[in-house]
């Protein structure tokens, strides 16, 4: 068998997904690659096998494409069948750099689902610092929080969130009531570069400057703990602050939520999604947090 006649697996996976979804955008999202990568892989596959696979702009298959798709799906099905555990090699290793509060509030409560679905993958979690992208070691996949303008890595948005002021029940009793946004004037506002107060101020018609005094935190979880201890009012993303709201250590001051200007992204270096364990985790995580 000549290796030169065997197309790269990523080309075959992309061809199968595009034939099934008939959308470059949906295919890129499913495979966690850019739309241009989808087009490049299909073109590469057609060049290798010397056959046109798609006939029109709606991604309908040619006669040869229909025939080849059946072979590709048969081959991919065979590749999904693992040998018995007695003959299987060691577990796949996957290193994930994740921000502390994302891990605590979002990932850990769901992680058992992943380990049960993929027992052949050993996952190592490494702590990263939000916005600064500082990790303990080199990671295969990274969770970043920011604007999404990352030139150094490929990425996909996991979810966006909304913010609202939270404080401890004791703080609210002693400093409240909080009825209108102006009631926050003069209160101790906890600060974080991850979630500037000006976003909430502007959405509520306040022309207040960003607070310059008061305790500051570079981790949302630490800021939630500080607010729960009665240190002041924190502007918290609701999905990350859910554990504190659910156990009653923090309460909302107002009903209105304001969209955060940032979001959580899954990031990886080019070519990393060719590794089966990386693609499996990315697919699971996107569906789990959707």
| Residue 89 confidence (pLDDT) above 60 | no
Tokens of 25: 């955008």
Reduced 3-state DSSP string for 85-111: CCCCCCCEEEEEEECHHHHHHHHHHHH
Reduced 3-state DSSP string for 73-88: HHHHHHHCCCCCCCCC
Q: Tell me, what's the pLDDT at 231?
A: 96
pLDDT, tens digit (0-9, with 9 covering 90-100), for 58-87: 788 888 888 888 888 888 877 776 554 444
pLDDT, tens digit (0-9, with 9 covering 90-100), for 160-213: 999 999 999 999 999 989 999 999 999 999 998 888 999 999 999 999 999 998
Q: Tell me, what's the pLDDT at 85?
A: 45
Q: What is d(CA 39, CA 47) in angstroms, rounded to the nearest whole number?
A: 12
Q: Tell me, what's the pLDDT at 88?
A: 47
Q: Which residue has the tokens 């570079």?
A: 218
Taking residues 29-52, report their average pLDDT. 89
- Omega of the bond leading into 177 within 30 degrees of 0 (cis): yes
Best mean pLDDT range from 1-10, 167-176, 261-270: 167-176
Residue ranges of the alpha helices (H) in the chain?
A: 9-21, 24-31, 35-49, 63-79, 100-102, 108-117, 169-175, 198-203, 220-228, 238-246, 276-289
Identify the three-state secondary structure at position 284: helix
Q: Tell me, what's the pLDDT at 3?
A: 55
Q: What is the CA radius of gyration of the chain?
A: 24
Tokens of 230: 């009665």
Taking residues 113-129, report their average pLDDT. 87
* pLDDT cut 70: percent of the chain above it: 92
Q: What is d(CA 270, CA 41) in angstroms, rounded to the nearest whole number?
A: 14
Q: What is d(CA 201, CA 189) in angstroms, rounded to the nearest whole number?
A: 12
Q: What is d(CA 10, CA 37) in angstroms, rounded to the nearest whole number?
A: 10
Q: What is d(CA 138, CA 134) in angstroms, rounded to the nearest whole number?
A: 10
Taking residues 38-58, report their average pLDDT. 88
Q: What is d(CA 266, CA 97) in angstroms, rounded to the nearest whole number?
A: 10
Of 105-109, 118-122, 245-249, least confident by mean pLDDT is: 118-122
Q: Tell me, what's the pLDDT at 130?
A: 62
DSSP 8: -
Name the pLDDT band for 266 (thresholds 50, 70, 90): very high
Taking residues 118-127, report their average pLDDT. 89
* Per-chain mean pLDDT for the chain: 87
| CA dihedral of 188, 192, 198, 200, whole degrees rounded to 10 | -80
| Residue 133 confidence (pLDDT) above 80 | no
C-alpha 10 chain-centroid distance: 22
CA dihedral for 24, 30, 34, 37, sign (positive or negative): negative
Reduced 3-state DSSP string for 193-219: CCCCCHHHHHHCCCCCCCCCCCCECCC
H or E stretch including 132? none
230 φ/ψ sector (left φ>0, alpha ψ -120 to 50, else beta):
left
């Amino acid at each position: 068998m000549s290796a030169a006649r065997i197309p790269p697996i990523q080309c075959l996976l992309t061809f199968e997904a595009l034939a099934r979804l008939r959308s470059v955008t949906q295919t890129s999202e499913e495979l966690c690659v850019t739309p241009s990568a989808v087009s490049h892989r299909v073109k590469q596959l057609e060049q290798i096998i010397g056959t046109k696979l798609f006939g029109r702009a709606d991604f309908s298959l040619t006669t040869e494409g229909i025939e080849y798709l059946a072979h590709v799906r048969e081959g991919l099905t065979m590749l999904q069948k693992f040998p018995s555990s007695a003959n299987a090699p060691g577990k796949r290793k996957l290193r994930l750099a994740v921000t502390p509060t994302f891990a605590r509030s979002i990932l850990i409560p769901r992680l058992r689902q992943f380990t049960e679905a993929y027992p052949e993958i050993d996952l190592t979690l490494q702590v990263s610092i939000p916005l600064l992208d500082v990790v303990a070691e080199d990671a295969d996949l990274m969770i970043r929080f920011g604007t999404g303008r990352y030139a150094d890595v490929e990425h996909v948005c996991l979810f966006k969130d909304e913010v609202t002021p939270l404080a401890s029940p004791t703080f609210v009793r002693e400093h409240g009531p909080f009825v209108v946004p102006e009631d926050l004037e003069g209160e101790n506002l906890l600060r974080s570069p991850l979630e500037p107060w000006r976003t909430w101020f502007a959405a509520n018609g306040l022309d207040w400057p960003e607070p310059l005094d008061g305790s500051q935190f570079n981790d949302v979880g630490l800021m939630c703990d500080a607010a729960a201890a009665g240190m002041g009012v924190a502007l918290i993303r609701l999905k990350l602050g859910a554990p504190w709201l659910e156990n009653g250590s923090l309460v909302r001051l107002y009903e209105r939520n304001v969209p955060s200007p940032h979001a959580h992204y899954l990031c990886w270096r080019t070519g990393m999604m060719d590794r089966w364990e990386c693609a499996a985790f990315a697919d699971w995580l996107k569906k789990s947090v959707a």
